[in-house]
Amino acid sequence: MTSVELNNVTKKYDKEKVVAVDDVSLSVSKGELFGLIGPDGAGKSSIFRILTTLLLPDGGTATVEGYDVVKDYKTIRGNVGYMPGRFSLYQDLTVEENLSFFATVFGTSIEENYELIKDIYIQIEPFKKRRAGKLSGGMKQKLALSCALIHKPSILFLDEPTTGVDAVSRKEFWEMLKRLKQQGITIMVSTPYMDEATLCDRIALIQSGKILSVDTPSGIVKSYHGKLFAIKSDAMYKLMNDLRAFEHTRSCFAFGEYHHISFKERDKDYTEEVLNYLQAKGHTGVEIKSVTPAIEDCFIDMVEEKKSEA
């Protein structure tokens, strides 16, 4: 069963000069946790706004739970939960007032669907008399999620819920999503953090309005072609410059503790050549090893491939 379907959806801004969403097609199954992974300006928010019927596409069609985003917008609005990228609750209302407001708008009450939000809401309930504007970032996020859930939507759209949130809160947030998924809710979530991609069932990598790839996280990693190496030495900045100047290098970039390097002949192992080259350059403490690419490696690789095609 399909929950979301986009067919050749296009959205342009600024008198058609800016193509925010460029011929995007993808589908999300019922009960799936689907990630839109890409940087700022990739078109993620525009896609969310089209699917939640807040923005009309310029081309193509899209459906949510079988309803057309243009014709059936009223039905869709009653069935989806949406957490926009910017905090959009009423800052002057208290935590409890916000929640009760959203419940009332959707013709329900906090009591009726309390079970669904209990897990999340219980963490902010001690502060229910506080105004939303006075909450910390993590608490605002929990309130926004509670408000998006209070009418028991069949699908949740979460636009960058973890941007600017620390690593611990991010982890907690994804644990909450997993529990919601177990209750059968379809979740479409966007994030600029590539490490969160592995927590989704399937992901779409997106850049400049275009889909680079749609697959399971492990499928994306498998489709990386050629070898990738991790390398470090005692002088990491010099190492980067030296490796970029190495004749066989295709690309080299920082990756945490190591630099990741791929070669022009992508299946060849240049370990020996690299070691000799770096020794001649005076590097000490050199370590090189073959590694499995992460989603971020795949993303960078696809972006570079696109660039060289252009």
Partner 1 sequence: MNSTVIKAEKLTKRYGDFVAANELTFDVRAGEIFGFLGANGAGKTTAMRMLCGLSVPSSGTASVAGYDVYKQTENIKRNIGYMSQKFSLYEDLTVMENIGFYAGIYGLTDKEIKEKSVQLVDQLGLHDSAKKLVRSLPLGWKQKLSFLVAIIHQPKIVFLDEPTSGVDPVARRQFWDLIYQAADTGITAFVTTHYMDESEYCHRVSIMVDGNIRALDSPANLKKHFSASSMDEVFQGLAREAKRKED
The residue (of 64 and 95) whose beta carbon lies closer to partner 1 is: 95
User: Which residue bears the tokens 């019922």?
Assistant: 30
Does residue 137 belong to the site contacting partner 1 (CB under 8 A)?
A: yes
Does residue 291 belong to the site contacting partner 1 (CB under 8 A)?
A: no
Which residue among 49, 170, 227, 283 contacts partner 1 (CB under 8 A)? 170
> Angle at CA 10, nearest 5°, toward 29 and 41?
90
Residues between 186 and 215 that touch partner 1 (CB under 8 A): 192-194, 207
Does residue 168 belong to the site contacting partner 1 (CB under 8 A)?
A: yes
**In 246-282, which positions are buried (b, 16+ CB within 10 angstroms) versus exposed (e)?**
beebebbeebeebbbbbbeeeeeebeeebeebbeebe
d(CA 248, CA 250): 6
Does residue 166 belong to the site contacting partner 1 (CB under 8 A)?
A: yes
Residues between 49 and 108 that touch partner 1 (CB under 8 A): none
Taking the complex as a whole, how short is the minimal distance between the CB of residue 160 and partner 1, in angstroms?
8
Does residue 163 belong to the site contacting partner 1 (CB under 8 A)?
A: yes
x/- mask, partner 1, residues 9-38, rule CB under 8 A, reads -----------------------------x
Q: CA distances (Å), 154 to each of 3, 77, 123, 203, in order?
A: 9, 11, 23, 20
C-alpha closest to that of 226 among 274, 277, 290, 271: 290
Which residue among 79, 169, 249, 271 contacts partner 1 (CB under 8 A)? 169
